[in-house]
Structure 1
Amino acid sequence: MGPVLNGLIKLQSVENRLRAAKAKLARCRRSVIIQENQVRSLQSALEAKKEEAQLTKVQCDRLELELKSRDAEVNKLRASLNNAKTNKEYAAVLTMLNTTKADNSKIETQILELMKAIESDEEESAGIRQQIEEQKQLLEDIRKKADGSATEHEVEIA
């Protein structure tokens, strides 16, 4: 029974080393997968930020177009102000003119806020791009290390 027991003990130690080597190999591969997921996450965040900036630009362009049409309306009201024949007509046109100017001012404020948001989104996008580049470099380093240690662990397993 002695040699069988010794053989079983040796077999168990070999299996323990094998299990440990397989666990190390799995950890190496898992670290690469985790880093790849990090890069993917940053890329999807970048795409979302780009889409948000694009939607904001579209909204800004729409407001600028509306502002141009309102400016044309202001010019028409100024012309009709000069052609007003009675005080009542003059006062009504002047009220419309002032109301339109106030609305234009609100639209201009919205446009400026949207432009600030666009600028902020672009800065955030640049930051995310920088993070992506750093993470890609880190991923390559981890891949190289993982490949080297994976080869060692595969040799241990074999």
Structure 2
Amino acid sequence: MKEEITEHTQIIFKSYSDLVEQEIEEPLWAFVLDKENRLYQIDSIPFYTSLVASNDIVFADIDPDTKQLVYQKTVSYSGHSTIQVVMNDECITMEEVRDIFTKMRCVSEVVNEDFFVMDIPEDIDYKQVKAELDRLEAEEKIEYAEPSLSDVHRKQTEV
């Protein structure tokens, strides 16, 4: 039987966010996989950080000044994707939009009253999710970005 990983820690991700147009430091929760070798599995949906997604395995090191764990590199990609969604239309609620994607098994987390992020697991057909995102965007109900689109999902949408 596989041992359950239960120890959590926070890792600081430093990057430039195109969404907020500034340098950011975003803390993400992660499971401790191997403390000695500083390997962690992301257990959050990144709000602003690009090129990392839930379940990715990352290497992080202690910053000598702040004593915080800071992301250094991704060791293994999970196949998950992260999508940022901004609400545009007051005729549809955020909950209605989130429900559409929940039915497709996409977990989401609210950032503020008009912005949420979604985690797309690797076994989800992204072509269907993208079709719904494109429809809602064409109807000017949302705008969306794909800051971390996995190779699996990218291939599903190639023509």
Q: Give TM class, smaller chain.
A: under 0.3
Task: Name which structure has the greater RCO, CA cutoff 8 Å, separation 6+.
Answer: 1
TM-score, normalised to structure 1, is 0.19
TM-score, normalised to structure 2, is 0.19
Higher helix share: 1
Bigger-Rg structure (1/2): 1
Higher strand share: 2
